[in-house]
Amino acid sequence: MHRGDEGSVPASSATGARADPPVCTPFPTIRSHGASVARSHAYDWLALLLLVAVEGLLNAIEPFHRFVGAGMMTDLRYPLKTNTVPLWAVPIYAVIGPIIVFTIIYVRRRNVYDLHHAVLGILFSVLITGVITDAIKDAVGRPRPNFFWRCFPDGIAVFDNVTTGVICHGDASVIKEGHKSFPSGHTSWSFAGLGFLSWYLAGKITVFDRRGHVAKLCIVLAPLLVAAMVAISRVDDYWHHWQDVCTGGILGLVVASVCYLQFFPAPSDDKGFWPHAHFRYIAERQNESQTRRATELLEAMEAGGGGQ
């Protein structure tokens, strides 16, 4: 019996005995349970709004301007190129794309818990990652590999006669971004969103079913490959050092893993197909059904006794 095809928790024993037949329970849909599920997570949605506000504040403040001297320019004179992956594209492939996948699964399975928790989980993943990333960026203030051309757009370097520190005469906003190299935001966001999607797909296609289907593993690794290519583009465009993208990738993947496991069982788990909330819902329905049957039986026994 496939885990994703029934509405109840499959039971099994260590001896391999056949499990008791599940209680048939219809899946909760957006129409039947959407409002109640959203209300039960009202504080989580408020927390997301707070993360958005913090993220905006971190992008508005001036980062720490780390000292850059004349002798440090060797690794900071790379060309100032445009982004291969523009900033506006990141939320499209890292957030909107995965949400489309979640929606397709919902259309096929009609489980509002799965859709709601997947959307909530990925939003937490990318926003927590974004706040951590930008907080570190502002605190570290590491210059980007193309810092020279941000500081001296005309190519004429000016340094302090005493400290040999740079005296920049470029655009203030461009210089500000020049002090935000570590860690890579494109990379951390990519691994946060696409890493969450990878976890989600692993659970949905039961990649760890011990049947040796390598094609399933390819599907799970595909989002991570996209994230890795984005990370490589950041080095190729000379916007980041290799340490920046490595740290960003690890950060995003760790946060994605924690956020996914907050809402879903591990893909290797027997219940890895649906979120934790789905199985709580099934257990509650089963308990209600058993209580109702017990009550009906007791009433029938009392009615029979009274008739004698």
Q: Is residue 70 part of a domain?
A: yes
* Residues 90, 135, 177, 70, CA torsion sign: negative
- Counting the structural domains of the chain, the total is 1
Residues with catalytic annotation? 186, 240
Q: Which residue has the tokens 């980041």?
A: 240
Quote the domain boundaries for residue 153: 63-298
Would you state the pLDDT for residue 80? 95
Q: Is residue 28 part of a domain?
A: no
Helix (H, G, I), strand (E, B) or coil at 283: helix
Rg of the chain over CA atoms, in angstroms? Answer: 26
Q: Is residue 18 part of a domain?
A: no
Would you state the pLDDT for residue 18? 36
Q: Is residue 307 part of a domain?
A: no
Q: Rounded to whole angstroms, what are the CA distances from 221 to 30, 191, 291?
A: 30, 12, 45
- Which residues in 139-176 are b (16+ Cβ under 10 Å) and which e? ebbbbbbbbbbbbbeeeeeeeeeeeeebebebeeebbe
Would you state the pLDDT for residue 301? 66
Please give the DSSP secondary-structure letter assigned to residue 44: H
Q: Is residue 52 part of a domain?
A: no
Q: Structure tokens of 61?
A: 């403040």
Are the beta carbons of 237 and 84 closer than 8 angstroms? yes
Are the beta carbons of 31 and 37 closer than 8 angstroms? no
| In the chain, alpha helices (H) | 30-40, 42-60, 90-91, 97-109, 112-140, 147-151, 172-178, 185-204, 214-236, 242-263, 276-307
CB-CB neighbours of 58 under 10 Å: 19
> Which positions ≥6 away from 4 have C-beta within 8 Å?
109, 204, 206, 273, 274
Q: What is the pLDDT along the chain (308 residues), one digit of tens a residue?
A: 344 444 444 444 344 443 333 444 567 787 778 788 888 889 999 999 999 999 999 999 999 999 999 999 999 999 999 999 999 999 999 999 999 999 999 999 889 999 999 999 999 999 999 999 999 999 999 999 999 999 999 999 999 999 999 999 999 999 999 999 999 999 999 999 999 999 999 999 988 888 878 889 999 999 999 999 999 999 999 999 999 999 999 999 999 999 999 999 999 888 878 888 777 878 777 776 666 676 666 666 666 665 55
d(CA 15, CA 13): 5
Please give the DSSP secondary-structure letter assigned to residue 165: B
